Chain A
Amino acid sequence: GAVVSQHPSWVICKSGTSVKIECRSLDFQATTMFWYRQFPKQSLMLMATSNEGSKATYEQGVEKDKFLINHASLTLSTLTVTSAHPEDSSFYICSVRGVAGGYNEQFFGPGTRLTVL
């Protein structure tokens, strides 16, 4: 499967600052990437779907002006949490979509833990 990395693996920031999280597909050209977040003891929730070179599609209830997604290349997508607040503290995970033999598989990054003080 595809190898996906995220940077940073964890970040602590002050309330009101912006944080950028990078997601890289190391060995696979990802036309589609996904961003999820996961609160403690809860399941993953899809935030947005991004296609290379076009605007991301956000899920209902996710503020597109707060969570800026850029998918500038086939191997890199970034999520910027703008003006972060404590309630944005969460585990953010990206994934890339793979298509092989007509099947769809997603390969996930290791996640980024964001703590907003």
Chain B
Amino acid sequence: DAKTTQPPSMDCAEGRAANLPCNHSTISGNEYVYWYRQIHSQGPQYIIHGLKNNETNEMASLIITEDRKSSTLILPHATLRDTAVYYCIAPGAGSYQLTFGKGTKLSVIP
């Protein structure tokens, strides 16, 4: 797995975009980046993943830098229900085991 580094916590005002960064400078060329989130006392929820192109789905957008050493998860209009711990994970190429780090605790503030 590539090591990932995330800030331990972030605040975001309700209705504003939440931008969560992740550093994965040791990622290899064919390793994907996955994002999950865990709302308190629930199982993790898959959000999005990408390889090198930016991705968007109904939940979020994923921006990956050209050198692939970092990425940003964007929640375009954060709501109180988006308060959770967000995990950025880069399992090794060909691996399907997810190693969860400490993630970023996002607090959406009214």
Contact = CB atoms under 8 A, between A and B. Distances in A.
Contacts of A49: 97
Of listed B45, B49, B91, B97, residue having the most chain A CB within 10 A: B97
Interface of B: 32, 34, 36, 38, 41-46, 49, 87, 91, 96-103
Nearest to B51: A103
Contact of B49 (A45, A105, A113): A105
Contacts, number: 51
Given A103-B49, A104-B91, A105-B49, A46 B98 contact: yes
Nearest to B103: A43
Interface of A: 1, 4, 6, 32, 34, 36, 43-46, 49, 91, 93, 95, 97, 103-111, 113
Given A43-B101, A43-B102, A43-B103, A106 B96 contact: yes
B44 A93 contact: yes
Nearest to A107: B46
- Interface residue SS majority, chain A: strand
A8 to B, nearest CB: 14
Of listed B34, B96, B101, residue having the most chain A CB within 10 A: B96
Nearest to B96: A104
Contacts of A46: 97-99
A98 B51 CA distance: 17
